[in-house]
Amino acid sequence: MHRTVVTPSERERFLEQVRTKEAHYVANGCRYWVFEEQALPGAFIEFCEANDAKTLTAAHAAAPGRVHDPARIYSIVELS
């Protein structure tokens, strides 16, 4: 996950960048979402996941642009 806040003038450029990232991650077997905070337009959270750490690590390594902390990968915790 990564949080980004952009100004109104940066919004379209940011959205183009995340569209490029989405295409990359989907093509590499991952799921990629971007959420915008309703109460704070321009505040985004990017979220990417894969079925396994190997797939996500490989997608991060080849990702367009900078990946913030690519070694930090979380695993689901089974609660039941």
- In this predicted model, what pLDDT tens digit does every residue of 15-31 receive, in sequence order? 999 999 999 999 999 99
Q: Which residues, in sequence order, are CB contacts of 65 under 8 Å at separation 6+?
A: 17, 20, 21
| Per-residue model confidence as pLDDT tens digits over 42-63 | 999 999 999 999 999 999 999 9
Residue 77 lies in a domain: no
Residue 12 lies in a domain: yes
Query: Domain tally for the chain?
Result: 1
**In the structure, what pLDDT confidence band is assigned to residue 76 with cuts at 50, 70 and 90?**
confident
Q: How far apart are CA 8 and CA 18, in angstroms?
A: 16
Residue 25 lies in a domain: yes
Residue 78 lies in a domain: no
Residue 29 lies in a domain: yes
Cut 0.75: pTM above it? yes
Q: Are strands 2-5 and 43-50 parallel, antiparallel or unpaired?
A: antiparallel
Residue 49 lies in a domain: yes
Residue 72 lies in a domain: no
Range of the domain at 35: 2-61
Residue 22 lies in a domain: yes
